[in-house]
Amino acid sequence: MKADTAYTAVGAFLDHWNGVRLVTLKLLESFEDGDLAQPVVTGGRSVGKVFHHIGGHQFFVARGVLTRRWRPDPGDPDADWTAHQERVARSVSGLHDWLAGTQSRLHEWIDAADESALVKLRPDNPWHKGMRGWLLLHHPYQDELHHRGQLYVAARRLGRVPPPVFAEEHPEYWIPRQGR
């Protein structure tokens, strides 16, 4: 098996994540600001906090893997996650900007990173010592999919109509990629 197939290349991975984020943003748009304080499950995070977490996990891991900076600088969102979450998780527009912004930063950081950021073992990461950057980057990607499933249930419970689940069901994503 070749190591760099169409589905393992960085560009293909990012393109697919763009499709995942497109659907996540459309799901967010199915909620109203008043829904964001509702818990996803009894005793769990609110809808707004889950959306914030999706962006936060991506921001933290992507910054760490791609810039090799795990600790925040003053002014970074994770310098005070609680304050950032309180500002952002109250409104659909604030969460939209946060999620679109973290996706944009991922692309900027990956464009600026050298290849070793993804392929070398990363003993500096605070979670899984010795894991390669490529696998670390899969954590927030998979976490987004997991939490998005929870948010679909919450949307339906609140009487909202969520979008189709798969990016391929959205013509703006699928038509340019069809047959590739």
pLDDT at position 180 over 90: no
CA angle 151, 153, 36 (to 5 degrees): 45
Report if residue 65 sits inside a domain. yes
The model's pLDDT over 15-68, given as tens digits with 9 standing for 90+, comes to 989 999 999 999 999 999 999 999 998 889 999 999 999 999 999 999 999 999
The verdict on residue 3 lying in a domain is no
Spatial separation of the C-alpha atoms in residues 103 and 82, rounded to whole Å: 21
The verdict on residue 102 lying in a domain is yes
Q: Is residue 4 part of a domain?
A: no
| Residue 2 falls inside a structural domain | no
- The CATH number of residue 52's host domain is 1.20.120.450
In a domain, 1, yes or no: no
CA separation for the pair 68, 145 (Å, rounded): 25
User: How many folded domains does the chain comprise?
Assistant: 1
Q: What is the pLDDT of residues 140-163, one digit of tens each?
A: 999 999 999 999 999 999 999 999
SS (HEC) of 85-154: HHHHCCCHHHHHHHHHHHHHHHHHHHHHCCCHHHHCEECCCCCCCCEEHHHHHHHHHHHHHHHHHHHHHH
- Name residues whose C-beta falls within 8 Å of residue 161's C-beta, 6 or more positions apart in sequence: 30, 155
Residue 111 has pLDDT above 90, yes or no: yes
Domain that residue 26 falls in: 10-174
The residue whose two tokens read 């992507």 is 62
Q: Which of 160, 144, 141 is nearest to 152 (CA)?
A: 160
In a domain, 159, yes or no: yes
Query: First-to-last CA distance in the chain?
Result: 20
In a domain, 180, yes or no: no
Query: Would you say 63 and 109 are in contact if contact means Cβ atoms under 8 Å apart?
Result: yes
